[in-house]
Amino acid sequence: MTKVCRKGCVRVGALAPLFALFLSLLSVIGCGQGSVRPEAASIANSPPRLSSPLEYTHDEGATLVVALVGVDDEGDVIRFSIAPGQDGALFGIDAEGQLQFSAPPDFESPRDSDRNNIYSLVLVLSDQKQNVEYEIEITVLDLPEYLLLKGGSEKRAISQAIQGVTVQRDYWLRAASNPKQSDYPILIFLHGAGGNGQVMLNDDRVIDLIERDQWVGVFPSGFDGRWNSNGETNADDIDFIRRILLDLQAYESLSQPDVYGVGFSNGASMINRLGKETDIFVAIAPIASQQIIELAMLDAPVPPSVIQINGELDPIIPTKGGVGFGEFEYLSALESAQNWADQNNCIGTWDEDRRVWGDFEVISKEQADCATGRVVSAHIVLGAGHTSRFGADFNVFTLISNYFLALP
């Protein structure tokens, strides 16, 4: 290769197609023709180009940098790689452009070639016909060794590529007004369709729970108000949740947390999917949604404990199973709970009793003789619909919290 192009400019790394076109034109002229043959013109190819910025700032202690986006006029698939040299060996990138440090950078112990916390690398974009190189510069910022958790709420954002466009996706943290613990478990709340993280953040029942100083709440927003539990959007929401957890490692009291999840409706469907396709959660609580048939066929890598809550008369996601929200076919609530019990190798029988939650009577079933201390329970709220509110004096999130904290 010749000299690497400096910041802000592009160097085409594969000149062979252009040279072939030049020879073809000479051939046409030599034959006395006044126009280019179609087969010669078809050799021309526009190189891919980067539509993301060339310079970034990045907090020390976190690995994730940015989701890079390339454009190709012919619609060719673009692949990303890092050229040898400069600080490139300190980074990793996948074929779709997700760039990150191989190990979290430390401002006090820089590893870039100049030891000035400004990392340079040469990014290579390829459409399998031509290569283009860009020089990317990342400045690492000095932070306390860990961020300190603030009392109350705090808004943060994650960079992610969706349909070829880099977007900033919001999430919120909420801690007690005066956090006193040295470490906290994380409770992720996923909203229903049409909502956002801030709606859950400001729920009076959630605020009451978080003020007990037992949890730090995390409140992400689905893309365009939806979670991609089964193709509702083009966002990779599993990747989004993983990126949030990487981001939270910068907090001293959240550096190695236990993670739990609660979701409502579309958010409950997403919690079920996360439980089946990842090893993120110790326990999950889907409210007003059970598993769709296709999800139930999957085996979880590390099945979580489950507390499932359904309204008996839910008109949107039928508790008895069948076609519901999104035209998906759902298991019945009890079939979904049985699937989770099978996943957790529960070998006992279901213990059943009747309880009162606020204004409603509840049929509760539980399996506690499960692998590694897991517990699976299903609760049908008699007379209730598609809701998480069962009376003014009843806080379902406190109930879920008590259930989670009592697990081994």
pLDDT score of 7: 43
Give pLDDT, residue 45.
Answer: 87
Strand pairing report for 283-287 and 91-93: unpaired
SS3 call for 119: strand
Reported as type and span, the H/E element at residue 239 is helix 237-248
Query: Does the structure show a pLDDT above 70 at 29?
Result: no
Question: For 225-266, how does the pLDDT look when each residue is reduced to its tens digit (9 = 90+)?
Answer: 999 999 999 999 999 999 999 999 888 888 778 999 999 999
Task: Provide CB contacts within 8 A for 52, sequence distance 6+.
Answer: 66, 67, 68, 69, 97, 166
Across the range 152-164, mean pLDDT stands at 92
Q: Is the pLDDT of residue 293 over 70?
A: yes
Reported as a pLDDT band with limits 50, 70 and 90, residue 18 is: very low
pLDDT of res. 290: 97
- Domain covering 152-405: architecture: 3-Layer(aba) Sandwich (3.40)
Q: What is the mean pLDDT of the chain?
A: 89
Instruction: Using the predicted structure, report yes or no on whether residue 379 has a pLDDT greater than 90.
Output: yes
The fold of the 11-32+47-141 domain, in CATH, is: Immunoglobulin-like (2.60.40)
**Range of 12-26, 29-43, 209-223 with top mean pLDDT:** 209-223
What the block records as the tokens of 165 is 């466009």
Asked whether residue 91 carries a pLDDT value surpassing 90, the answer given is: yes
Share of the chain above pLDDT 70, in %: 89
Task: Please state, in angstroms and as integers, the Cα–Cα distance from residue 405 to each residue in 2, 54, 71, 283, 401, following that order.
Answer: 61, 46, 48, 10, 6
Instruction: Please tell me the predicted confidence (pLDDT) of residue 147.
Output: 76
Percent of the chain with pLDDT over 90: 77
pTM to 2 decimal places: 0.71
State residue 322 phi and psi, 5-degree precision: 120, -170
- Cβ distance 266 to 325 under 8 Å? yes
Asked whether the predicted pLDDT for residue 3 surpasses 50, the reply is no
Q: List the structure tokens of 256.
A: 């190695």
| pLDDT on residue 145 | 63
Q: In terms of pLDDT, which residue wins out, 348 or 31?
A: 348
Buried b (16+ CB within 10 A) or exposed e, 360-388: bebebbbbeebeeebbbbbbbbeebebbb
Domain ranges of the chain: 11-32+47-141, 152-405
Rounded mean pLDDT of 169-198? 95
